[in-house]
Amino acid sequence: MFNKQRLMVVGVTAFLITALGACSGGGDGGTDSTGSATATGQGSEDTTQQAPPQADTVSGLRDTVRHLSRQTVKATRPHMVRRCTSATRRVRHSASTGTGTKRKTRTWYTTERYQDCEKVRSGTETYRRVVRPERWCVSLDDVGGDTARDDVWYQVTYATYDEALGTHEHTRMRFTPTGTGC
C-alpha cells in the first residue's frame, strides 16, 4: 500500500514538473504587465493565458437568503473540582563563609508548608453542546457569469447576509464567502 502511494506521488510530481516546464515556454513566451503568461507562437488561436480571478471572491445574481440558527442539545460531562490538602516538605539551606582552606559551610533544614492541589471528579454536570453553529447563507445564480451555475449556496458573514436581505432578487452581488454549501 505504501509503495502505491509513493509511486502516485512520484507520478504527480513528474507530471507537475513537465507541465510547469511546458508553461514556462523557454524563449518563445514571456509575461505581460499583469503577470499573465503570453505566447509568441504561430497560429490563429489566442494562446494568452489570463490570470485566474480572485479565488476567494464570488459574484452572481442574488437568488435566496437563508439563516440557520444555532442548534444545541443537552449533554453531560464530568464535574471537576479542585481538592487541596496541606502538606509539608523538608527544605535544605546552606551558607558559606571564608575562602580557600578556611572556607566553612553551614547547613540547616526547615519545614515548609504548602498546598498540594489536584482536580478530581465529583459527579456530572449538564451543559448545552453546540451541534450546528449559527450560519448565514446566500444563494447565487449565474455564478461567475456562467448561466449554467444556478442555486449555488455560500456561507457568508452577518454583514453580507444583511446586505443581501436589503437587495432585490437577481441583483448582482460580489462578496467573499466564509464557506460553501448551507
Q: Each residue of 104-137: pLDDT tens digit?
A: 999 999 999 999 999 999 999 999 999 999 999 9
What pLDDT is attached to residue 119?
A: 95
Burial of 58 (C-beta count, 10 Å sphere; 0-12/13-18/19+): buried
Q: Where are the alpha helices (H) located in 41-182, listed in sequence order?
A: 158-165
The average pLDDT across 90-94 equals: 95
70 and 134 Cβ atoms separated by less than 8 Å:
yes
Q: Which of 75, 54, 60, 85 is nearest to 128 (CA)?
A: 75
Grid cell at residue 54 = 480572485
Task: Look at residue 20 in the predicted model and tell me its pLDDT.
Answer: 66
Which pLDDT band, with edges at 50, 70 and 90, does 100 fall under? confident
What's the CA gap between 124 and 74, in Å, rounded? Answer: 13
pLDDT of the residue at 145: 78
For 164-177, give the DSSP string.
HHTS-TT-EEEE--
pLDDT at residue 32 is higher than 70: no
How far, CA to CA in Å, does 13 sit from each of 3, 16, 17, 21? 15, 5, 6, 12
Greater model confidence, 51 or 144: 144
